[in-house]
Amino acid sequence: MSDRALGLLLFLPVPIVLWLFTRAPLGPLASLGLGIALVATHRLYARPFALARAPRRCLWCGRAVDAGPELSVVEPLGATRWRACGGDHASRLRRVFGFADAHSAFLKIGILGSLALFLVLALGAALGRLWPAAGADAVALFRFGVAVAVLPLGWLSATRGPLAAQPAPVPFPLHIQALIGTWAVLWLFRLVGLAWLVLAMLHVAARSSASVP
Ligand SMILES: [Zn+2]
């Protein structure tokens, strides 16, 4: 099996977690529990896989390389080195790093803050301790917060971000984007971000029209 196929396979828990959290296909408590277990364990196998291949895959496009510019990065989990297939993909990556670092507080609050708030509200809803529509409200809030955070990163970072110096500080671990390539993750941010923004707004519209007598 190729590194690209294996990387895609190891990326699958990410959409599965989002599906479990936003659709609760196994019921609220089991979906939340399985989602949290997948989040907690993903790093254990995905990070070693990505780091082992960091010198021989382009972090931007994911293709196999034996030479190319190196990128040294300081992630929250420590200093790492990655590679790009050429100067163009290296500079796109450096712009993504620069953009993420310049907006690190916004990204952390948007993604981690929304996730934390969602888990608290969704757990409260699953246990029946909150208002009747709390589960759906929690999902809409999660979608809105994540969408607002990832849309600028997806649409602007690779072209408009400032070129990061080396070693580049980044606010999030890079192994997830390394699994399928940074370009693919940015496209997911663009498309899922737009879809989630629309879904969150439709939820607000439905809620406000339902509360009008
Ligand atoms: Zn490349």
- Give the model confidence (pLDDT) of 196-211 as tens digits: 999 999 999 998 887 6
Chain mean pLDDT for the chain: 95
Separation of 61 CA from ligand 1 center, angstroms?
Answer: 4
Task: Specify whether the CB–CB gap between 169 and 134 falls below 8 A.
Answer: no
Number of structural domains (the chain) is 1
- pLDDT at residue number 7: 96
- pLDDT at residue number 213: 54
pTM of structure = 0.92
Separation of 199 CA from ligand 1 center, angstroms?
Answer: 33
Separation of 209 CA from ligand 1 center, angstroms?
Answer: 48
Domain that includes residue 26, residue range: 3-211
- Quote the CA–CA distance of 78 and 97 in Å, as a whole number: 15
Separation of 181 CA from ligand 1 center, angstroms?
Answer: 9
Residues 141-156: tens digit of each pLDDT: 999 999 999 999 999 9
Output b/e per residue, 164-182; b: 16+ Cβ within 10 A.
beeebbbbbbbbbbbbbbb
What are the start-end ranges of the H helices in 78-181?
A: 87-102, 104-108, 114-126, 134-160, 175-180
Q: Average pLDDT in the 164-177 region? A: 95
pLDDT of 133 over the 90 cut: no
Strands of the 70-75 sheet, one edge to the other: 78-83, 70-75, 168-169
Separation of 112 CA from ligand 1 center, angstroms?
Answer: 29
